[in-house]
Structure 1
Amino acid sequence: MTDTALPAAAPAPTESPLRRIIAEFAESRLALLGVAMLVLFVGAALLAPLLVPQDPYDLATLDILDARLPPGEVSGTGLVFMLGSDGQGRDMLSAMLYGLRISLFVGVTAVALALAIGASAGLLAAYIGGRTESIIMRTVDIQLSFPAILVALILLALLGNGVDKVIIALVAVQWAYFARAARGAALVERNKEYVEAARCLGISRARLLLRHLLPNCLPPLIVIATVDIARSITLEATLSFLGLGVPVTEPSLGMLIANGFDYLLSGVYWISVFPGVLLTLVIIAINLVGDQLRDVLNPRLKR
């Protein structure tokens, strides 16, 4: 009897890292709730001109006689203020959605710029080493030794009000977090085989850092960026509440809360409370997503 060779078993299909991350992320119902909330908030902010009954920036549509109307009240022009009106006669729902656009724009833009600057500095510090690393990391240590809100207040006192000024201040107080995290991750990666192979092949330093080292350092940076978006929105709201953030003509959620603070004791609660609730829900949604991303990208921290 002749032996017949058995057919070789087909190799098991390997799951892509992206699919694995999505599958593990979807295991958390709270994370999915956070994603749903963020999609709702971002969609409402982007579609605000189509959804709201009034443009809060158009002075021609405002009437001082409609100031501080309670929720559900009808204005003289027949407009129903579902969430009431503020001290300038603006529909609160319209002002909140437009304010949400500014808050999200400031938070995302500031974190994106801080990530780019901080990651570049951290990678250079870890890869080059020596005096360059000492200078960069001592600068990071000095930056982190001061409270972020204090540095932002000083910068805005010098720069003045404005959305661009707030973004500059937030980048200045947040880039150091990304620099330290990027350096720590790059120190682990720089002596691995793929980096040594890239050096032996004569790949340029810029290409090695951007094409090989940076992608392997991104997971902790993504987690920090997600959490820092919520932190940036909170800082911007705090600065605007103190009168050093965005201008009154472009109110963010923080500015809307500040506008109604003086009326709280007189019973006009909706001007501050409704924007405050929306701000809280946005921060909660971002933190829910960030917590699950942390657990997925760094299983050692999984609770």
Structure 2
Amino acid sequence: MSDQTLPAQKPRGAESPLRRIIAEFFESRTAAVGLVIFALVAFVALFAPWISPQNPYDLSQLDIMDGTLPPGSESFTIGTYWLGTDVQGRDMLSAIMYGLRMSLIVAGTATLLALAIGIATGTAAAYFGGWVDTLIMRIVDMQLSFPAILIALILLAILGKGVDKVIIALVIVQWAYYARTVRGNALVERQRDYISAAQCLSLGHGRVMFRHLLPNCMPPLIVVATVQIAQAIALEATLSFLGVGVPVTEPSLGLLIANGYSYLLSGRYWISFFPGIALLITIVAINLVGDQLRDVLNPRLRK
């Protein structure tokens, strides 16, 4: 009997980490639904200027006679107001699309900037230790001892209104979460042999921290960043609702909810109701994705 060459078989568990993470993520139908909803929200927000029935913040497209029309009302200008209009005659569907766009821009920008600051400070605290670690972590502890909304209100009272001011306030509020997370993981990785080997090769501190130490601390940061995006969206909406966030000339879900708050008792519920539902759906979808990412990247936390 002649020998036959058997085809090489891929050993079990040899699949790429990215494929494993994707496969485990989609094991949860709830997380998959959350991801699909968030992708749809992001698509609508990104292409709002092209797919919305009107530009709700262009005065030339508004008609005061269309103010507070209920959902399903007809109009001679844009057709049917599927979600009704507000007091200024803005199409609520278009206003929600633009509001989602503003929420994702503000939250995404603030999260990226806060993540960069938190990574740099947290990694430096764990790597250098000593007085650097003590100074950074005392600042982090002091900031985290106060509610985020309180710090944001104080900052905006000093800085004033504006989209850029809201982003600055959210960055200052959020960076401490990332600094504490990355510092806790970096302290463990700091004791590994590969860090000692890199130091023995006389590599620079920056290269050791960001080429060798930081990549092994990223999985928890991804989960924290996902949760913080949802928190940033909720915080921006809260600040705008209170009148200290985005100016009234800019789209915001918080402003839309605030505009219809005084009309709830008169039966014109749609002015606040639909923006609130859009805000709730977006935050819940992001949290569903974040919960599954936490379970996939850290199986010990799996329920």
TM-score category of the 2 structures, normalised to the smaller one: over 0.9
1:22-171 superposed matches below 5 A: 22-77=22-77, 79-171=79-171
**SS of the counterpart of 1:80?**
strand
Tell me the CA shift for residue 77 of structure 1.
3.3
Q: Structure 2 unaligned runs (5+)?
A: none
Residue deviations 1:237-275 (CA, integer Å, cap 9, x gap) = 110100011011112111111111011111111010000
Q: Is the 8 A contact 2:73 2:84 kept in 1?
A: yes
**SS of the counterpart of 1:74?**
strand
* Matched residue, 2:276: 276
* Matched residue, 2:197: 197
- Structure 1 residues 74 and 201 mapped into 2: Cα distance closer, same or farther (>3 Å)? same
Separation (CA, whole Å) in 2 of partners of 1:5 and 1:266: 87
User: One-letter code of the match for 2:277?
Assistant: V
Residue deviations 1:171-221 (CA, integer Å, cap 9, x gap) = 111111111111000000011011111111121111111111111001111
**SS of the counterpart of 1:265?**
coil
Separation (CA, whole Å) in 2 of partners of 1:77 and 1:234: 33
* Matched residue, 1:12: 10
Tell me the CA shift for residue 32 of structure 1.
0.4
Separation (CA, whole Å) in 2 of partners of 1:49 and 1:251: 12
**SS of the counterpart of 2:264?**
helix
Q: Is the 8 A contact 1:166 1:246 kept in 2?
A: yes
* Matched residue, 1:208: 208
Tell me the CA shift for residue 5 of structure 1.
10
The answer to whether 1:177 aligns with 2:177 is: yes
Could you list the runs of 4 or more consecutive aligned residues of structure 1 that deviate by over 6 angstroms after TM superposition?
A: 4-9
Give the superposed CA RMSD. Answer: 1.7
Tell me the CA shift for residue 298 of structure 1.
0.6
**SS of the counterpart of 1:171?**
helix
Residue deviations 1:54-113 (CA, integer Å, cap 9, x gap) = 111211111111111111112353632111011111100000000000011111111111
Tell me the CA shift for residue 11 of structure 1.
6.6
TM-score, scaled relative to structure 2: 0.95
Separation (CA, whole Å) in 2 of partners of 1:11 and 1:43: 41
Separation (CA, whole Å) in 2 of partners of 1:8 and 1:63: 76
Tell me the CA shift for residue 10 of structure 1.
4.6
Separation (CA, whole Å) in 1 of partners of 2:27 and 2:217: 25
Q: Is the 8 A contact 2:75 2:81 kept in 1?
A: yes
Residue correspondences, number:
300
Q: Is the 8 A contact 2:110 2:170 kept in 1?
A: yes
Percent sequence identity is 65
Structure 1 residues 229-238 or 78-87, which shifts more? 78-87
Tell me the CA shift for residue 233 of structure 1.
0.4
Q: Is the 8 A contact 1:110 1:167 kept in 2?
A: yes
Residue deviations 1:114-173 (CA, integer Å, cap 9, x gap) = 111011101000000111111000000100011110000000111111111111111111
Q: Is the 8 A contact 2:71 2:84 kept in 1?
A: yes
